[in-house]
Amino acid sequence: MSLFYSTLKYLVVTLWSIFVIAPFLWALTTSFKDFQSVTNGATYIPWVDFEPTLDGWRSLFKSPAQGGVAIVEPFFNSVIVTAAGSGISIILGTLAAYSLSRFTFRVGPIRNGDITFFFISQRIMPPVVLSIPFFIMLGKLGLLDTLFGLILVYVVLLMPIAVWIMVDFFNKVPIEIDETALIDGCNPYQAFFKVVLPNSVPGIIVAGMFCMIFGWTDFFFAFILTFTEVQLLPVAIVALNSSITPWWSLSAAALVSVAPLVVVAFIVERYLSKGNLSGALK
């Protein structure tokens, strides 16, 4: 019986793995194809079905004038906007979450839970609802089509995620740890920075990863709030789609855009797989 379940388990895992990996393999092989290999029927295995070429990858580094797609600048724009947006969101979000977890706020009928929900509610609204005020505000501030403007918008979008995850994390960290730090001679700021923060690294990493994923993969705001000066990677990749789509360049660009998230996912996988974050504190 156990052999049956074991076989079934491996079968399901194998099928799921194929389902997940297949698009990546497809994009990988396509990125080494040329026009002929893409348009003359389905081909799968390099050197057998088609002769691989690096044209798709080379085109990423060439300017459009040279027949390339120039994703280097959009790539680094995305890196700057995502890193800054996520970083600021995590710093502010962690501080806000700690306050919401540890101190009692009362303004009329509003309590801590309402404030936390207010943060999360920013993510409930459809992006298109937010885009109009963002567009008007950035326009008035002269920040449309700038990296700084995008960073500001991303902080607004990502901080609720950080607050949401970190409030939950801090709620699971016994308050007695903070109290012990106070008793041991820390003032409240020292208690946070010397004791609570070092023990919150798993939560911060998980929150940071979600911020990075949302920031890195955002297309909508990057598309609405930029024109010609600044272009982010998702917009640059979508812009490749034209009457004759260069699938080989598109595939290479897609793989480049996924690569940072794959690396991050591997690094933080052990924190994600823990499930119960409070397990960091015995």
Partner 1 sequence: MTLIASNLSIKYERNFHLNDVSFSMSKGEIYTIIGRTLAGKTTLLKTIAGLISPDSGGLAFDGHDFGSIPVWKREIAMVYQQFINYPHLTVYQNVAFPLKQRGIQKTEIHRRVKAALSQVGLGGFGDRKIQALSGGQQQRVALARSLVKEAKIVLLDEPLVNLDYKLREQLREEFRGIFDTKASEDSILIYSSTDPVEAMQLGGQILVMDEGRILQQASAKEIYENPISAKVSQITNDPAMNLFDGRIEDGCIVLSPEIKFNLPSHFNGLPQGDFTFGLRAAAISLDDNGFPFSVELSEISGSETFLHVRHEGLKIVGLLNLVQNFPVGGKVSIRFDTKHLYAFARDGRLKSSPYGGLQ
Nearer to partner 1, 137 or 280 (CB): 280
* 178 vs 218, beta carbon nearer partner 1: 178
Residue 36 binding partner 1, by CB under 8 A:
no
Q: Residue 158 and residue 89: Cα distance in Å, rounded?
A: 6
Distance CA 56, CA 249 (A): 4
Nearest to 235 by CA among 259, 218, 252: 218
Contact between residue 114 and residue 44 where contact means Cβ atoms under 8 Å apart: no
Choice from 129, 259, 262, 281 touching partner 1 (CB under 8 A): 281
Helices (H), the chain: 2-31, 35-39, 55-59, 72-102, 112-124, 127-141, 147-172, 175-183, 188-190, 201-217, 220-224, 233-238, 247-272
The closest alpha carbon to 251, from 119, 113, 53, belongs to 53
Instruction: In angstroms, give the least distance from the CB of 11 to partner 1.
Output: 37
Residue number, 95 or 186, with CB nearest to partner 1: 186
Shortest Å, Cβ 280 to partner 1 = 7
Q: Which is nearer to partner 1, 140 or 282 (CB)?
A: 282
| Footprint on residues 150-189 left by partner 1 (CB under 8 A) | 174, 176-177, 179-187
Binder of partner 1 out of 69, 150, 167, 195 (CB under 8 A): 195
Least Å from the CB of residue 200 to partner 1: 10
- C-beta closer to partner 1: residue 25 or 182: 182
| Closer residue to partner 1 in complex, CB, 43/278 | 278
102 binds partner 1 (CB under 8 A): no
Helix axes 201-217, 147-172, angle to 10 degrees: 150
Under rule CB under 8 A, residue 104 binds partner 1: no
3-state secondary structure of 50: strand
Residue 198 in the binding site for partner 1 (CB under 8 A): yes
Binding of residue 193 to partner 1 (CB under 8 A): no
End-to-end CA distance of the chain: 37
Count of residues touching partner 1 (by CB under 8 A): 19
Considering beta carbons, is residue 187 or 243 the nearer one to partner 1?
Answer: 187
Tokens of 185: 């001679």
CB of 282 to partner 1, least distance (A): 5
Q: Which of 277, 75, 8 is nearest to 168 (CA)?
A: 277
Where does this chain bind partner 1 (CB under 8 A)? 174, 176-177, 179-187, 190, 195, 198-199, 280-282
